[in-house]
Amino acid sequence: MRTTELTVATLGPGGVGGLIGALARDGQRVMHPAREETAAVLSGDGLHIESTRYGDFTAAVQTDTQLREPVDAVFVTVEQTVLEEALDRVPAEALGDAIVVPLLNGLEHLAVLRERYPSAKAVAGTIRVEATRTAPGRIVHGGSYTNLELAAPIAELPTSSGTPAAA
């Protein structure tokens, strides 16, 4: 049983990342490495969520322009076109051996993340959600669902013999 709170980061606090970060407010510490403009808004105003499922609320968040301390997990939720730039906000030495979950279209991101963060555990993830960032720090969750699924890391997947596969 875990006795300490989980520390999670969302890289890209837009529709998906902002919603994940705001929902993780009970019992977890959430950090949002973001561009300077977005970090300033989040620091001052928090994340405002309008949701048909979770209600309307504001979540106070921790933010900075760069991840400066270890986390247990990071959700990568930026747009593909700014992925490389965004990853500069999460230095490998700060990330350590955290779990890294890209919630982006496609699978090619896993190779990029595993190369950039060799000590981390990058795992595939999918999310089904209807969420939109209407302005920095403002998220509208219009659907009644939020389904997040993660794959097991390669080293933990069983082979046909029933033993874990080599990483």
Rounded distance between C-alpha atoms, residue 13 and residue 30, angstroms:
11
Structural domain includes residue 161: no
CATH number, residue 88: 3.40.50.720
pLDDT in tens, 25-70: 666 888 999 999 999 999 999 999 999 888 999 988 899 999 999 9
Tell how far CA 157 is from the center of its chain: 23
Structural domain includes residue 47: yes
- In the chain, how many domains are there? 1
DSSP strand pairing (73-76 vs 125-135): unpaired
Structural domain includes residue 66: yes
Range of the domain at 17: 6-156
Structural domain includes residue 164: no
- Tens place of pLDDT for every residue, the chain, 167 residues? 455 688 899 999 999 999 988 877 666 888 999 999 999 999 999 999 999 888 999 988 899 999 999 999 999 999 888 999 999 999 999 998 999 999 988 778 889 999 999 999 999 888 889 999 999 999 999 888 888 888 875 555 444 445 444 44
**pTM tops 0.85:** no
User: In the structure encoding, which two tokens stand for residue 2, read together?
Assistant: 């875990």
Structural domain includes residue 163: no
